[in-house]
Amino acid sequence: MPVVSVTPAAAELIRSLRGRHGPLMFHQSGGCCDGSAPMCFPAGEFRTGSSDVLLASLAVDGVTEPVEFWMSKSQWELWKHTTLTVDVVPGRGSGFSLEAPEGVRFLIRSHLAP
């Protein structure tokens, strides 16, 4: 199983957001309120650096370029025994994630790494 995968519903949302906002990226959040959830931004909007790790370059049908999925290194140290699936649920969202105004929210579902 890949480190990060995408459900069909999340892929559909990514395609739709890609159409409106251009190339996309994810950064997995930690902390309170809307944390512990993936944030979706226009690619390059969130500046990754040496404290981050690129977990996956997601291939999504209908999206020309790969969608990078990032997490802070320190957080990944605590997550690396699991694999992640990006899903989407109805919700209000928050943070500056692109999908929130659509009434939906990306969500991570986790599994133990084989």
| Chain residues that interact with other proteins, rule: CB under 8 A | 27-37, 39, 41, 45-47, 72, 74-75, 78-79, 82, 89-98, 100-101, 103, 105, 107-112
Q: C-beta of 82: minimal distance to other proteins in Å?
A: 7
CA separation (Å) from 26 to 6, 17, 86, 96, 114? 12, 12, 10, 11, 24
Cβ–Cβ < 8 Å for 36, 22: no
Sign of CA dihedral 49, 72, 33, 97: positive
Q: In the complex, what is the shortest distance from the CB of residue 57 to other proteins, in angstroms, rounded to a whole number?
A: 19
| Shortest spacing between CB 71 and other proteins, in angstroms | 9
Minimum CB distance to other proteins smaller for 30 or for 61: 30
Q: Which is nearer to other proteins, 2 or 35 (CB)?
A: 35
Residue among 2 and 44 whose Cβ is closer to other proteins: 44
- From CA 48, how far away is CA 71, in angstroms rounded? 9
**In the complex, what is the shortest distance from the CB of residue 95 to other proteins, in angstroms, rounded to a whole number?**
4
| Three-point CA angle 102, 61, 73, nearest 5° | 75
